[in-house]
Structure 1
């Protein structure tokens, strides 16, 4: 955590608020002479500002976010200058809608909090809300933490209720603490933040007392509280997972996490608008230059993609086709691109069958089909050197002698883990028919990845929840070499 908890201005402002309260007068925060004065609301008890963070949007635009129980948005300080935050979403209980669960196991989504936001100005050194220092972006990003699939699974349809009250069995919080100690410049979440869909059964001590459903109390328990150390450590890039589709936690996704403006009809509140709410355009996040190499992330929303080929006349196929044309155009603007979506296009999926055997399946067939219509068998344009995903609850690293981008999967963030794949399980297999597998490693330890830029190359490391190194890779262009670390 950053040690600069309260700036000099914040202390002065708090004193000013106190003086106003004692005098019975309304209080304002003074700005520079001749400028409009702003209300000093939310420079109050930090308990009314439970969560503040920075999310990066299109072209890396940083957006400060705050969730507060106060009646008005807080003041945002940028290099000591106060400014207003705008209301993104007002407190609301959203009427129950069709969800992935039966009506009897669903409920209205209550958001009794105010969500506020404001863009950060280019080149600022410090920003704070209510005395809490924000993580401001760096012009050149060199170290990235990657996490994914982090929530505590409570799902009646699978009769699966993870031990949310046991920090060893749901180890997201301890993993976050270890990841924060790496002091990243940026945090990426590759999707599936929210897993507590249904009520914990009576008499089950593993999850007793847990909130459930898609309202703020569940988002707070499943993501914001345990993620706090990383939310304060660096700006975030948020990738949307299938758990954030409109049938599931899409309302919270749009209110809280998506970097773009919240629009009526794209908020997942009404099922008849899901065709709008379930799809959003790709965008790029520049990472700056190291040496002569300009790098960027390309963020893709695959929250509603199935794992079967889509009919070409279907709206989703046409939508994804247009979006991947945008990806091609974005990729041409940087030397090194990391494509990010939730569903691995070049990774393996795994499931344990009832007889105890492992079922292994290849990468996402729907997106592979769309991509090969645009880019033939390479799937991606040559400037895309790596792909980054979640969804499969493992860490995976896959490299290819066929020139396909390296695929990393960081889906081991704390939710119920998949069975690891022994080498024999993938012998002779490939995640895509034209891809020749050169290296495959995986782990089902709860953990995270780091991606660290070096001159003309990247060091990729996979860590467990205690911060112990598991796998290390060296990536240069599309050539990646990985090794297991036995330490």
Structure 2
């Protein structure tokens, strides 16, 4: 028995001697491959703790730009496809001297930004990117699910004696709206303007907004937008549209430091009132949405933040500015088969307010913009390749189609700020936001909610939802035609 065991052991040993030399080349290949793998970059925990917010904004021609706000003394690192580099400083920490604002001097204060704003252009085709260990959402070649929100901040305004309940998530429901909308996993988020509303101090003894930051510094931006928007900032890249609350006499300093995708320039930063003619205007740009079923689609982003309510004089320099910009819109529209024109002030929708006597006053679309646009496109206002226009400003959801050829107008201004009174339905006969335009379909709602635009082949399905998950309206856009319905 012992002899048999020795013979068996000898055979096993000989077998290993034969196998091992044969396995060595394979093992060397495996080890070689493993040595070429990149190790996960080490995360600096101190750096990570200092980063207060990070997001991706799309700029001209869809250029994705990573942004971060940090309380550290230097910008954090960004990792793209395993390669680490330092982010560039966009705006340093500073307290900006008090300037003329939309409020009385005694209701204003200097704008404190005790943080750095940092940025980095994302590389073409990047597959993964992170800042301080947290992954960034990356743009998709074709955006098929687009979320649209607007007018989201909590209003604190002494001049109107209006102080929204910022401490009550039911009365200021922006955070709830963000949580609900993030579950949709959008490819892109579009904000149609008015991020910042906490302009003045909460009155002493008011528990609804007690303790809220106010003014135009970082603490207010953090409370009014960045903290409640975190779930959506993590979910998808954003297109940021500028609203009238982001003009230079209001939150323009934060707009340029934080949100606008273009380079920050001295003199266009809203720091000095003498430079507001530069800081309050910026040219339009396009954000491609990719090609699907042979159709190239894009967004055209227009800065209407400073537009007045009255028609401009033809010799007003602002009139010339807008005229030049709408000519640029015509050029941009030629880049795509299907265009969404996006600005803050509705051009083809209604505004509404309740007077002191209780009666509703209904206003047409942005008259100053209409007047300029009619010089180029007298009836339609827009070039033929613009099939729809998106806006906010009016704190409602609205959808309008026209039998006279104007683009479909959507308003998504019901994002959480103090809501407007809804317009009566049906409209009075002949009611129109534009002289000569005939309204074919109209609906509106002052429920807090959002819009979802889904691209299905060459069709666009637009749905408006409220926080309770109720469908407010649905529209089907295809081949220059829009059909809308309100669920019964």
TM over 0.5: yes
How far is 1:12 from its partner? 4.9
Q: Does 1:410 align with 2:412?
A: yes
How far is 1:356 from its partner? 1.6
Q: Equivalent residue of 1:275, what SS?
A: helix
1:25 corresponds in structure 2 to none
Deviations 1:207-239 (CA, angstroms, capped at 9, x unpaired)? 000000000000000000000000000000000
Any gaps of 5 or more consecutive residues in structure 1?
A: 1-7, 18-42
1:282 corresponds in structure 2 to 284
2:209 corresponds, among 190, 207, 217, to 207
How far is 1:353 from its partner? 1.3
In structure 1, C-alpha distance between the alignment counterparts of 2:82 and 2:470, rounded to whole Å: 39
In structure 1, C-alpha distance between the alignment counterparts of 2:395 and 2:374, rounded to whole Å: 26
2:24 corresponds in structure 1 to none
Any gaps of 5 or more consecutive residues in structure 2?
A: 1-36
Mean alpha-carbon deviation: is it higher for 73-82 or for 263-272? 73-82
In structure 1, C-alpha distance between the alignment counterparts of 2:221 and 2:468, rounded to whole Å: 25
Q: 2:174–2:416: 8 Å Cα contact kept in structure 1? A: yes
1:294 corresponds in structure 2 to 296
Deviations 1:432-482 (CA, angstroms, capped at 9, x unpaired)? 012110000111000000000011110000011233322111111331111
Equivalent runs, 1:4-153 vs 2, <5 Å:
12-14=41-43, 44=46, 46-153=48-155
In structure 2, C-alpha distance between the alignment counterparts of 1:10 and 1:391, rounded to whole Å: 48
Q: 2:92–2:117: 8 Å Cα contact kept in structure 1? A: yes
Q: Equivalent residue of 1:199, what SS?
A: coil
In structure 1, C-alpha distance between the alignment counterparts of 2:459 and 2:484, rounded to whole Å: 13
2:346 corresponds in structure 1 to 344
Deviations 1:123-146 (CA, angstroms, capped at 9, x unpaired)? 111110001100010011000000
1:437 corresponds, among 436, 439, 455, to 439
Q: Does 1:329 align with 2:358?
A: no
1:163 corresponds in structure 2 to 165
Q: Could you say if the C-alpha distance between residues 199 and 374 of structure 1 is closer, same or farther in structure 2, counting changes exceeding 3 Å?
A: same
In structure 1, C-alpha distance between the alignment counterparts of 2:405 and 2:314, rounded to whole Å: 27
Deviations 1:238-289 (CA, angstroms, capped at 9, x unpaired)? 0000000000000000000000000000000000000000000000000001
In structure 2, C-alpha distance between the alignment counterparts of 1:369 and 1:426, rounded to whole Å: 24
In structure 2, C-alpha distance between the alignment counterparts of 1:426 and 1:252, rounded to whole Å: 41
In structure 2, C-alpha distance between the alignment counterparts of 1:147 and 1:320, rounded to whole Å: 25
Deviations 1:391-446 (CA, angstroms, capped at 9, x unpaired)? 00000000001110000000000000001112144432000012110000111000
Deviations 1:14-39 (CA, angstroms, capped at 9, x unpaired)? 3xx5xxxxxxxxxxxxxxxxxxxxxx
Deviations 1:43-94 (CA, angstroms, capped at 9, x unpaired)? 5363311100000000000000000011111111111111221000000000
Q: 1:278–1:304: 8 Å Cα contact kept in structure 2? A: yes
Equivalent runs, 1:440-459 vs 2, <5 Å:
440-459=442-461
Q: 2:41–2:84: 8 Å Cα contact kept in structure 1? A: no
1:26 corresponds in structure 2 to none
In structure 1, C-alpha distance between the alignment counterparts of 2:480 and 2:464, rounded to whole Å: 19
Q: 1:155–1:196: 8 Å Cα contact kept in structure 2? A: yes
How far is 1:11 from its partner? 6.2
In structure 2, C-alpha distance between the alignment counterparts of 1:417 and 1:367, rounded to whole Å: 24
Q: 1:404–1:478: 8 Å Cα contact kept in structure 2? A: no
Q: 1:179–1:467: 8 Å Cα contact kept in structure 2? A: no
Aligned length: 452
Q: Could you say if the C-alpha distance between residues 373 and 205 of structure 1 is closer, same or farther in structure 2, counting changes exceeding 3 Å?
A: same
Q: 1:178–1:466: 8 Å Cα contact kept in structure 2? A: no
Structure 1 vs Structure 2 CA RMSD? 1.3
Q: Could you say if the C-alpha distance between residues 373 and 52 of structure 1 is closer, same or farther in structure 2, counting changes exceeding 3 Å?
A: same
Q: Does 1:219 align with 2:248?
A: no
Q: 2:47–2:76: 8 Å Cα contact kept in structure 1? A: no
Deviations 1:133-173 (CA, angstroms, capped at 9, x unpaired)? 00010011000000000000000000000000000000000
Q: Could you say if the C-alpha distance between residues 339 and 10 of structure 1 is closer, same or farther in structure 2, counting changes exceeding 3 Å?
A: farther
In structure 1, C-alpha distance between the alignment counterparts of 2:120 and 2:189, rounded to whole Å: 20
In structure 1, C-alpha distance between the alignment counterparts of 2:232 and 2:437, rounded to whole Å: 35
Q: 1:472–1:482: 8 Å Cα contact kept in structure 2? A: yes
Q: Does 1:252 align with 2:254?
A: yes
Task: Name segments (4+ residues, structure 1) moved above 6 Å.
Answer: 8-11
Q: Equivalent residue of 1:170, what SS?
A: coil
Q: 2:61–2:285: 8 Å Cα contact kept in structure 1? A: yes
Q: 1:60–1:285: 8 Å Cα contact kept in structure 2? A: yes
In structure 2, C-alpha distance between the alignment counterparts of 1:258 and 1:429, rounded to whole Å: 36
In structure 1, C-alpha distance between the alignment counterparts of 2:470 and 2:80, rounded to whole Å: 37
Q: Equivalent residue of 1:157, what SS?
A: coil
In structure 2, C-alpha distance between the alignment counterparts of 1:130 and 1:426, rounded to whole Å: 56
TM-score (norm: length of structure 2): 0.91
2:264 corresponds in structure 1 to 262
